[in-house]
Structure 1
Amino acid sequence: MLTGDLVRLRPLEPSDAEAHYRWNHDPDVGQWLAHSYPVSREVFVAEYADRAKNSYERTVLGVETLAGNRLIGLVVLSGAEPETGGAELDIYIGEKDCWGKGYGTEATRLICRYGFDAMRLHRIELWVADENAAAIRVYRKVGFVEEGRARDTLRRHGRWHDMILMSLLEGELKG
């Protein structure tokens, strides 16, 4: 487990499926997430227990509060390749009452530190919607910088949004 002052990152358990399903079906939580085709709760829960185990190529961890041991979100490092030293980060806090309290910032720092120290990555990148100001603030606070923009890539709220590519190199992590 990776532990900070506010959260710990831990492997997911089959019992986490209900929370994950609920977050994926909350329009506020999912407004900037990539969507897949809908599945029933029963199918989602059954497949959750059969997920692939964590590996160098894809590590999925739950974000759990230290106070109360409550699962509040997920972090993912995927596409890791030792040849390039890079991986892609995805994170979200699914419990809305936990937004704006520093949990996402600390979880981002913890997973990046893990990527650089334990996985020996050199570069972590992510894509974020241009209007997801809260996420962009978190990423900048941790040290991510904007590298580029894919125009009109994501359609939400009846209009197209740009996706911003941000990256963090080994040695640039703040905090």
Structure 2
Amino acid sequence: MFAKKPTLHGDRVTLRPVGPDDVPGLIELTSDPEVGRLTGSHGAPNDAAAAQWYATRGDHADRLDLAICDAETGEYAGEIVINELDEDNLSCNLRIALVGSRAYGKGYGTEAIRLTIAHVFATTPLHRISLGVYAFNERAVHVYRKVGFVEEGRLRDALRWDGQWYDEIVMSVLRTD
């Protein structure tokens, strides 16, 4: 379904297929403790694994991995991914991560999500895009609602971080929304 990996252009961001040149940005992203907390990622970054990961994303027709780049400078600002494709139920998952404070508050995430949703619904038969976000990530919850995601429920105590439990909010957007 995602054999062709597009480049999508917005006012603030360009979304393009990830590749080996993006590995330093991915390492910056996965090394940031705040990004780790927001994504619930407990593991330590591994440079070799990051290089292998980004080198092989284009080989997978069941997912779409795009680098979020500043539209003016081309600088890597994060990634947005469509994965967990369920062709029988015409649904998939969306995840996004920005490199940290240098990318926050600039509208990159909002525009990247809008571009990606528009692309998915315009070029595939998919009906539903879902995601999970931890309840403490109020900035992300606000953005997801702004772009049309609707809260469906909560997974109670889904994340244990620094000895505390946090809920995961499940959200989705439908083609008919």
- Shared topology, TM-score over 0.5? yes
1:109 aligned to 2:114? yes
Is the deviation greater in 50-59 or in 150-159? 50-59
User: What is the alpha-carbon distance in structure 1 between the residues aligned to residue 60 and residue 52 of structure 2?
Assistant: 18
SS in 1 for 2:38: coil
* Structure 1 unaligned spans of 5+: none
1:31 equivalent to 2:31? Answer no
Over 3 Å counting, the alpha-carbon distance change for 1:73 and 1:50 in structure 2 is closer
Structure 2 unmatched ranges of 5 or more:
1-6
User: What is the percent sequence identity of the aligned residues?
Assistant: 36
The residue type paired with residue 34 of structure 2 is D
Computed over aligned residues only, the root mean square deviation of the Cα atoms, in angstroms, reads 1.7
Work out whether 1:62 is the aligned partner of 2:39.
Answer: no
Aligned equivalent of 2:135: 130
Shift of 1:46: 4.2
Question: In the aligned structure 1, how far is the partner of 2:11 from the partner of 2:72?
Answer: 10
- Is residue 2:98 matched to residue 1:93? yes
- Deviation, structure 1 residue 120: 2.1
CA offsets, 1:71-125, max 9 Å, x none?
Answer: 1010010112222110000001114212011110000111111111112211000
Q: Does residue 146 of structure 1 match 2:151?
A: yes
Runs (4+) of structure 1 moved beyond 4 Å?
Answer: none
**Shift in CA distance, 139/119, structure 1 to aligned 2, threshold 3 Å:** same
> CA offset at residue 139 of structure 1?
0.1
What secondary structure sits across from 2:39 in the alignment? Answer: coil
Match of 2:21 in 1: 15
Q: Counterparts of 2:85 and 2:161 in 1: how far apart (Å)?
A: 29
Length, aligned pairs only? 171
TM-score (norm 2): 0.89
- Give the whole-Å Cα distance in 1 for the aligned partners of 2:65 and 2:30: 15
Q: Select which of 144, 167, 170 maps to 1:162.
A: 167
Shift of 1:62: 0.3
Contact 1:3–1:9 (CA under 8 A) maintained in structure 2: yes
Aligned to 1:74: 79
Contact 1:76 1:90 in 2 (8 A): yes
Helix, strand or coil for the counterpart of 1:53? helix
- 2:3: which partner in 1? none
> Is contact 2:40–2:161 with CA below 8 Å preserved after alignment?
no
